């Protein structure tokens, strides 16, 4: 029995002669009542062909295969789809314009991290990364398909995505199935942990030639990755890390990539593109949400107003102590930026770049976390998930003090964040009665104010930085 939003696979035996990656076309049509889903198949090496499917309705599905190869064409079958298990809420999509929710309606409060090349580090380190993620607060991870060649990340991977001779003589018309089998292994393990895989399809930090493929090669690669990975419910598509630094691509290429993904992904997974110095036009209809690199998290309201979509500042600099300024903010600054993004009605992404004798930096290779921001981010996530609000929106009210940063739902829930200010008293919004908690953002405490409070009551505060106020309808 396959569960709803689970993973169903058809495995077929077919020809090995010629180039099966380009010579053979294969797809499947899946039907349940009036529901029809078309999914492309792919060659997985050694004469094995696969079609993968993520059912989104319970019942008995039937399927039929289509191919230009007689051995693969016209295969039919059925399978039963049952109710999802407790931790399976389906794929994440956009909800309420600026927020996210799983397919069953459960809110997804994005608390992400970056670990670009963790799947290219070998069994021991990759296993350690998964163990770290199992207890970390992150429910999304940014990760590359291609290996990465950059500062603190110059080791060669164990596998390459194409057949050929490393490092420059590749046959871009022949994929290396073992490479992609490893990618999907890790994506599946993330799914088991309840972590969304924000899959970065291209990046500029390359010395193998993968960033310089032709348009035909790029499109074939995209379709192959989609065929292999789209049936995993925890997949998000990120077209690039720092797309504007890829000088081998034109803006028209990125527009085309969005079109290829939207056309060939049967499940309409989330789609974004990450900037270096220049923002992509996130108002374009195929962009589902804005994935931003900027230290200026206080611009979150501007971005919301400009794009009318969910905003994730996926790279707001990294907690660490390396030389580049993007990798040496303090843990307090990381926590501050997370809270600021939250009260701007946006989401934030973590990263960590502490010097290591073996150059194992979390942001690049994974391993273990060394910084102090992670438990404070976990504390923030707990507060947000306990809010009962399907996404906090910024609240503007001229009757409140100029320095208030507040998000929530008017008349029901308010989360005030005071950093860098340190008021000793705060006036509650009109209405009520309210239940009020003083939040110590750094020491991770919630201190209830005795009794129910009425609107415009004055609440004493510690008069210190790194504090917030939670106000809930009693």
| pLDDT on residue 404 | 65
- Side-by-side strand order, sheet with 467-473: 393-394, 405-409, 413-417, 467-473, 434-440, 445-448
Q: 2-82 and 92-385: same fold?
A: no
| pLDDT on residue 137 | 98
Residue range 296-324: average pLDDT?
Answer: 97
The pLDDT of residue 397 is above 90: no
The pLDDT of residue 402 is above 70: no
Burial of 328 (0-12, 13-18, 19+ CB in 10 A): middle
CB 233 within 8 A of CB 91: yes
pLDDT tens for residues 63-74?
A: 999 999 999 999
455 Cα distance to chain centroid:
39
- Cα gap 308→292, rounded to integer Å: 14
pLDDT tens for residues 118-135?
A: 999 999 999 999 999 999
Write down the mean pLDDT value for the chain.
96
Q: How confident is the model at residue 420 (pLDDT cuts 50, 70, 90)?
A: confident
CB 94 within 8 A of CB 289: yes
pLDDT tens for residues 231-270?
A: 999 999 999 999 999 999 999 999 999 999 999 999 999 9
| pLDDT on residue 396 | 80
The pLDDT of residue 368 is above 90: yes
The pLDDT of residue 193 is above 80: yes
Q: Does domain 2-82 have CATH number 3.40.50.300?
A: no
Q: Residue 451 gets which letter from DSSP?
A: S
Size of the chain, expressed as the number of residues it contains: 474
How far does the chain reach from its first CA to its final CA, in angstroms? Answer: 45
Residue range 326-350: average pLDDT?
Answer: 98
| pLDDT on residue 87 | 96
Q: What is the DSSP string of 347-362?
A: EEEE-EE---TT---H
How many beta carbons lie within 10 A of that of residue 349, not counting itself? 27
Q: Residue 270 gets which letter from DSSP?
A: -
**Phi then psi dihedrals of residue 142, to 5 deg:** -85, 125
**CATH topology (fold) of 395-473:** Immunoglobulin-like (2.60.40)
- Where along the chain do its domains lie? 2-82, 92-385, 395-473
| pLDDT on residue 237 | 99
143 Cα distance to chain centroid:
9
| pLDDT on residue 106 | 97
The pLDDT of residue 403 is above 90: no
- Cα gap 125→143, rounded to integer Å: 15
Question: Which comes out higher in pLDDT, residue 79 or 166?
Answer: 79
Q: How confident is the model at residue 281 (pLDDT cuts 50, 70, 90)?
A: very high
CB 176 within 8 A of CB 159: yes
Proportion of the chain above pLDDT 90, given as a percent: 95
| pLDDT on residue 419 | 86
The pLDDT of residue 295 is above 70: yes
Superfamily the domain 92-385 falls into: Glycosidases (3.20.20.80)
- Tell how strand 311-315 and strand 458-460 pair up: unpaired
pLDDT tens for residues 141-184?
A: 999 999 999 999 999 999 999 999 998 899 999 999 999 999 99
The pLDDT of residue 450 is above 80: yes
């Amino acid at each position: 029995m396959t569960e709803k939003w689970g993973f169903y696979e058809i495995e077929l035996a077919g020809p090995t002669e010629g180039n099966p990656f380009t010579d053979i076309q294969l797809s499947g049509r899946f039907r349940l009542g009036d529901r029809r889903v078309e999914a492309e198949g792919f060659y997985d090496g050694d004469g094995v062909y696969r079609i993968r499917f993520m059912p989104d309705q319970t019942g008995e599905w039937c399927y039929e295969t289509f191919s230009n190869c007689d051995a693969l064409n016209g295969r039919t079958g059925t399978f039963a789809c049952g109710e999802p298990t407790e931790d399976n809420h389906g794929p994440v999509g956009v909800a309420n314009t600026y927020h996210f929710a799983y397919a069953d309606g459960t809110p997804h409060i994005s608390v992400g991290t970056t670990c670009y090349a963790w799947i290219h580090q070998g069994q021991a380190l990759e296993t350690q990364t998964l163990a770290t993620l199992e207890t970390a607060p992150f429910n999304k991870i940014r990760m590359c398909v291609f290996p990465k060649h950059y500062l603190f990340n110059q080791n060669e991977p164990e596998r390459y995505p194409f057949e050929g001779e490393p490092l420059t003589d590749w046959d871009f018309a022949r994929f290396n199935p073992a490479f992609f089998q490893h990618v999907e292994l890790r994506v599946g393990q993330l799914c088991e942990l309840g972590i969304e895989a924000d899959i970065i399809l291209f990046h500029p930090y390359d010395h193998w030639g993968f960033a310089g493929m032709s348009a035909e090669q790029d499109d074939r690669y995209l379709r192959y990755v989609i065929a292999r990975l789209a049936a995993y419910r925890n997949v998000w598509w990120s077209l690039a890390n720092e797309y504007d630094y890829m000088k081998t691509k034109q803006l028209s290429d990125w527009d085309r990539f969005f079109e290829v993904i939207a056309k060939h992904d049967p499940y309409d997974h989330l789609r974004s593109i990450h900037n270096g110095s220049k923002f992509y036009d996130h108002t374009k209809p195929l962009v589902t949400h804005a994935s931003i690199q900027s230290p200026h998290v206080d611009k979150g309201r501007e971005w919301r107003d400009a794009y009318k979509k969910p905003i994730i500042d996926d790279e707001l600099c990294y907690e660490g102590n390396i030389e580049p300024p993007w990798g040496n903010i303090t843990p307090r600054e990381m926590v501050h930026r997370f809270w600021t993004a939250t009260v701007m009605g946006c989401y934030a992404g973590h990263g960590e770049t502490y010097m290591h004798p073996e150059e194992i930096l979390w942001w690049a290779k994974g391993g273990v976390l060394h910084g102090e921001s992670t438990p404070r981010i976990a504390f923030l996530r707990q507060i947000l998930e306990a809010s009962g609000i399907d996404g906090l929106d910024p609240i503007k009210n001229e009757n409140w003090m100029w320095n208030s940063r507040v998000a929530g739902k008017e008349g029901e829930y308010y989360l005030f964040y005071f950093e860098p200010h340190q008021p000793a008293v705060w006036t509650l919004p009109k209405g009520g009665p309210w239940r009020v908690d003083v939040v110590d953002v750094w020491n991770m405490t919630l201190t209830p104010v005795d009794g129910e409070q009425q609107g415009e009551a004055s609440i004493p505060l510690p008069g210190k930085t790194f504090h917030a106020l939670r106000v809930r309808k009693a």
